[in-house]
Amino acid sequence: MLFEKLLRIRRTLAFRLTVWYAAIYTVSSLLAFLFFYLQIASILRERTDEELLDDIEEFSVLFGEKGIDEVKQTMILEAKEDGEKDVFYRLLSPDGKELGSSETFSWGELSVSQPALRQIANDPKPVFETLTIGERRHMARSVYALIGPGTILQIGMSLEDNDEFLAQFRQIFGATIALVMGLAGLLGWFMAKRALTNVEGVTQTARAISATDLEQRVPVTGQTEEIDRLATTFNDMLDRIQTLVTETKQMTENIAHDLRSPITRIRGMAEMALTTGKAIDDYEAAAATTIEDCDRLLEMINTMLYISQTEATADRLTTEEVDVTGMVRDACELFQPVAEDKGLDLVVEIGADLRVRGVLQGLQRMLANLIDNALNYTPSPGTVTVSVCGDEKLGIIAVKDTGIGISQEELPHIFRRFYRCDRSRSRPGTGLGLTLVEAIVHAHRGQIAVTSTPNVGTTFIVTLPCASPAS
């Protein structure tokens, strides 16, 4: 159980953020240590070089005032005073021959740097070297300098004190960095948990929603901009999901109602034919009614499939150039007898020669649905006007009627599947016509708009991109 709990914690975002905080803090501390370490090492080396130069200057003055013998004696005394293990002195000729030295037994065999001598011969400036000597654990810093005519003084100084100081610095920093890492981990965990507090609120809301409570919303605290954006986006998503679920429930109820009525009629007619039918005419009537209701069901199912197919393949339509003006004229001519039978005037107004890229059958079906709706919901005497206009970029098809109209409350919902303004569903229809119209328009990269006033009339306006300039 403990291992599983630790494994679960390791997979959390809080743990990963903590690791990142601690890692960044530790790396920053290490870089700072490296910077200061190099600075301190450089300062110590400069101080050592300055001490060596001071000694060179003193011996140079001594050589000028009292000669080489005094220099030799002073070298021996200085080496004993400072510690023969820590410093040595040697007098050399320009060719590297030793002229005198302090005690160098503890230093082992000391070689003479010929490159340093050559450099002094060319430029009489002190030459510094860092020496690694025999089995000594610590290196030494050496300087060659000209202190008089034909006399070169070499001074070597052990770097043991510098090395010990740097070692202590490393030890102190090692203990400090361990403490810093622990504090960084605790601080990182605190900051991560604090930063993810509101995310936990989103998680709790999601869990509550999984229990079918779609009314829950994530609180927007106004404390953290990123979390507030996440909460707002999450709440917007919940609103859309709730709307979708509600519409799905309504659509399911509408489908059930539209399926129940014809199936009930089919069963009723079949039962009557079996129980009361005595002549062949009774069975023929039952069969005819069954076929009619089956055709209605098939039409509804085919329309649903056509809508889904149109929405799914909107980006992959095989299009052609369609003469919209001619299509409108043909559609109005086709519906003219229907309008006359209902005592309505069907008027065509052509203001432009429109051509668009699209699917002819789909556009014909869209226009037929709009005209059929206008004729069905316009009482006699009334007028249905189909107009065409446009410019070089956009073509507009408008279907206007003087019918019963649509209330402002109903307008936002009329393109939903199975939605019908006639709640009693007494009028013929499936509630899929306008959904089909909208799907076809959007598949052709167009837009559809509607304006309506109850008992005055309704106007549907379809806007489509033109394939060629309007004339």
- Mean pLDDT, consecutive 10-residue segments, the chain of 471 residues? 57 71 79 87 91 91 90 90 90 90 85 90 90 84 91 91 88 82 76 69 68 66 68 79 72 67 75 70 75 77 74 71 90 92 92 85 91 91 91 88 90 80 56 85 90 92 76 39
The predicted pLDDT at position 251 comes to 65
Q: How far apart are CA 165 and CA 29, in angstroms?
A: 20
pLDDT confidence of residue 2 = 52
Q: Residue by residue, what is the 3-state secondary structure of 124-139?
A: CCCEEEEECCCCCCCC
Give the domains, in start order, of the chain with CATH numbers: 2-164 (3.30.450), 225-311 (1.10.287.130), 317-465 (3.30.565.10)
Six-digit token pair at 433?
């016509």
3-class state of residue 100 by DSSP: strand
How far apart (Å, rounded) are the C-alpha atoms in residues 12 and 7? Answer: 9
Distance CA 364, CA 444 (A): 13
Span between the terminal Cα atoms of the chain, in Å? 79
Which amino acid is present at 73? Answer: Q
Determine the Cα angle at 125 with ends 121 and 128, to 5°: 100
297-306, long-range: CB < 8 A, 24+ apart: 297/259, 297/262, 297/263, 299/430, 300/258, 300/430, 300/432, 303/430, 303/432, 303/433, 303/436, 304/417, 304/432, 306/436
Q: What are 50's two structure tokens?
A: 């300055």
- CB-CB contact of 13 with 192 (8 Å): yes
Q: Are strands 382-390 and 344-350 parallel, antiparallel or unpaired?
A: parallel
Dist CA 448 CA 433 (whole Å): 14
The span from the CA of 259 to the CA of 298, in Å, is: 11
| pTM of the predicted structure, to 2 decimals | 0.50
Give the per-residue pLDDT at 110. Answer: 84
Partners of 384 in beta bridges: 346, 401
Tokens 């001619």 belong to residue: 326
The answer to whether the peptide bond before residue 469 is cis (omega within 30 degrees of 0) is no
Of 433, 431, 470, 439, the residue nearest 358 (C-alpha): 439
CB atoms within 10 A of CB 342: 16
Beta strands at 98-101 and 87-92: parallel, antiparallel or unpaired? antiparallel
Alpha carbons 139 and 38: distance in angstroms, whole number: 17
**Residue from 120, 180, 174 nearest 150 by CA:** 120
Report d(CA 306, CA 417) in Å as an integer: 13
In the block, which residue shows the tokens 């004696």? 73
